């Protein structure tokens, strides 16, 4: 999934106040005046799948006549869409619930959505009795029904099935970004990485029918979006359930043909299912963005086996070779976990040497975090926290060196940017390249937001690029 912070920190996991155990004592806090009925506040944690789920939930609520407000205090319905990929992210929601309880107004309904909801289930009602809706990410298709129950005043409403074979599709989605639209093509995950909670929280893999995906894509294009990002935990494992049986690369090519669409990107790819036809499609169709996010997790075949990643270091490197042999340069980014149980210095050394071999354009590094219901949780030889931190620093340091060199190589080159941000500084803008790099640049034009412009890169820092518009 995509960066919402710096390249080395994928999720915003800074935790203000951690409430390790029960937040019950706060339940006695006084209630203040009630906010306007039919208003909602929605806060999202975690990855782009969550961001996009929240866009769909917001669409659903707007279609029911709700109005979105900027603060929890002003909302009659307060929703938290949560992430449980690592422990700190999961704790954050309990911290929010605790903080918020002291300010909660009379008659407000509080709901917990997403992966923590799926993972903790009804336990959330015990820890935070003022919550009245708990709905996991695999149960969103039931949300309209659950909302009706909430509106009827039901105090403990749950949607917690994760054995669904349906995907979450809505009539209306309220998209946050006016230029780039997310579109989920596959939900859940059928891989069984031993550290990962996703197969448990998001349920089994379900692909959307290709005609439904392409119909939504055309609607998106008609609304004026020119860039779409296909989403899935293992996006390239896409398997069209309709008789059309489109492959993933065929779907990409069909998407690029939609009138008005200028860029199609996709994330996250699983190395095992990364096939040559995907690279051929990128080569054949310039509208397919030249960026692949291909998480490796570890450079050691032994650790990869323990992680149940289903490929060896060598097999992964063969996929990299495929991408490197494309006719146009394709940027490659990755995820790495350090400190998996039993990871030796030598194993970690292999991860560092893999970075030297691949020379990634970007990397998200994570310290291993034991998760409930995962096989790795009970594995012996846990790595001490200080050692995990040391390894993460070493990993980031190496990536920084590599990335500094790669960014410096971009100086003097010209890239097409989709302009998505206007700086407070006069005549300064920023946008992203097809390879997903952000470049800030100067331009004399009055209005550039949403436009495509050519920018020559004039300077590079360790994590940033600057340039000038040459249009
Ligand atoms: N601990 C640390 N990192 C994890 N990830 C997934 N599960 C864990 C875990 N238990 C990382 C992987 C994955 C990314 C989304 O989060 O690197 O690719
Ligand atoms: Fe988790 Fe592995 Fe599935 Fe990715 S492929 S979501 S890491 S189980």
Nearest ligand (C-alpha, residue 195): 1
Q: Is any ligand 1 atom within 6 A of the Cβ of residue 348? A: no
Q: Residue 371's closest CA among 383, 359, 379, 363?
A: 379
Contact 296, 323 (CB under 8 A): no
Q: Is any ligand 2 atom within 6 A of the Cβ of residue 198? A: yes
Coil/strand/helix, residue 258: coil
What is the model's pLDDT at position 4?
38
Q: Which residue, judged by its Cα, is nearest atom 17 of ligand 1?
A: 335
Q: pTM here?
A: 0.91
Q: Which of 233, 340, 368, 373 to mutate to test the pocket of ligand 2 (most atoms within 8 A of CB)?
A: 233
Which whole-number Å values give the CA distances from 173 to 176, 213, 216, 241, 438, in the listed order? 9, 14, 10, 23, 26
Among the atoms of ligand 2, which is closest to the Cα of residue 199?
Answer: 8
Q: Is any ligand 1 atom within 6 A of the Cβ of residue 368? A: yes
| Residue pLDDT tens, the chain, 471 long | 433 333 332 322 222 222 223 333 333 344 556 788 899 999 999 999 999 999 999 999 999 999 999 999 999 999 999 999 999 999 999 999 998 887 777 789 999 999 999 999 999 999 999 999 999 988 888 898 999 999 898 989 999 987 778 888 888 898 988 889 999 999 999 999 999 999 999 999 999 999 999 999 999 999 999 999 999 999 999 999 999 999 999 999 999 999 999 999 999 999 999 999 999 999 999 999 999 999 999 999 999 999 999 999 999 999 999 999 999 999 999 999 999 999 999 999 999 999 999 999 999 999 999 999 999 999 999 999 999 999 999 999 999 999 999 999 999 999 999 999 999 888 999 999 999 999 999 998 889 999 999 999 999 988 899 999 997
What is the model's pLDDT at position 28?
39
Among the atoms of ligand 1, which is closest to the Cα of residue 85?
Answer: 7
Q: Is any ligand 1 atom within 6 A of the Cβ of residue 297? A: yes
Neighbours of 441 (CB within 10 A): 26
What is the model's pLDDT at position 33?
63
DSSP, res 32: B
Contact 281, 322 (CB under 8 A): no
**Locus of tokens 């339940």:** 27
């Amino acid at each position: 999934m995509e960066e919402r912070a710096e390249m080395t920190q994928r999720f915003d996991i800074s935790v203000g106040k951690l409430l390790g155990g029960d937040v019950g004592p706060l339940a006695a806090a006084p209630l203040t005046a009630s906010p306007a009925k039919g208003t909602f506040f929605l806060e999202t944690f975690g990855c782009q799948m969550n961001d996009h789920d929240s866009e769909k939930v917001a669409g659903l609520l707007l279609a029911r006549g709700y109005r979105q407000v900027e603060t929890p205090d002003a909302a009659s319905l307060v929703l938290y869409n949560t992430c449980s990929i690592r422990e700190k992210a999961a704790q954050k929601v309990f911290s929010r619930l605790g903080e918020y309880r002291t300010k909660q107004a009379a008659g407000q309904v509080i709901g917990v959505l997403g992966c923590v909801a799926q993972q903790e289930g009804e336990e959330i009602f015990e820890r935070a009795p003022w919550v009245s809706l708990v709905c996991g990410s695999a149960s969103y298709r039931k949300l309209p029904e659950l909302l009706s129950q909430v509106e009827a005043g039901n105090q403990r409403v749950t949607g917690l099935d994760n054995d669904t074979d349906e995907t979450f599709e809505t009539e209306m989605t309220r998209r946050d970004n006016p230029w780039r639209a997310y579109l989920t093509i596959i939900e859940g995950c059928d891989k069984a990485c031993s550290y990962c909670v996703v197969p448990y929280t998001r349920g089994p893999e379900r692909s959307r029918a290709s005609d439904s995906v392409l119909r939504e894509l055309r609607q998106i294009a008609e609304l004026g979006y020119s860039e779409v990002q296909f989403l899935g935990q293992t996006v390239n494992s896409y398997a069209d359930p309709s008789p059309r049986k489109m492959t993933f690369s065929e779907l990409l090519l069909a998407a690029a043909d939609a009138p008005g669409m200028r860029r199609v990107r996709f994330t996250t790819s699983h190395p095992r299912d990364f096939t040559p036809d995907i690279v051929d499609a990128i080569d054949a169709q310039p509208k397919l963005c030249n960026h692949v996010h291909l998480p490796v997790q570890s450079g050691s075949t032994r650790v990869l086996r323990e992680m149940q990643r289903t490929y060896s270091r060598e097999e992964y490197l063969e996929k990299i070779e495929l991408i490197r042999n494309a006719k146009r340069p394709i940027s490659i980014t990755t995820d790495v976990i350090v400190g998996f149980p039993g990871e030796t210095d030598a194993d970690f050394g292999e991860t560092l040497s893999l970075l030297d071999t691949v020379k990634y354009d970007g990397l998200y590094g994570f310290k291993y975090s034991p998760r409930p219901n995962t096989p790795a949780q009970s594995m012996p030889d846990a790595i001490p926290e200080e050692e995990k931190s040391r390894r993460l620093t070493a990993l980031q340091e190496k990536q920084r060196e590599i990335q500094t060199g790669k960014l410096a190589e971009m100086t003097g080159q010209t890239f097409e940017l989709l302009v998505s941000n206007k700086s407070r500084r006069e005549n300064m803008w920023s946008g992203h390249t097809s390879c997903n790099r952000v470049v800030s640049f100067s331009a004399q034009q009055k209005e550039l937001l949403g436009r495509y412009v050519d920018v020559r890169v004039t300077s590079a820092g360790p994590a940033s690029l600057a340039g000038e518009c040459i249009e």
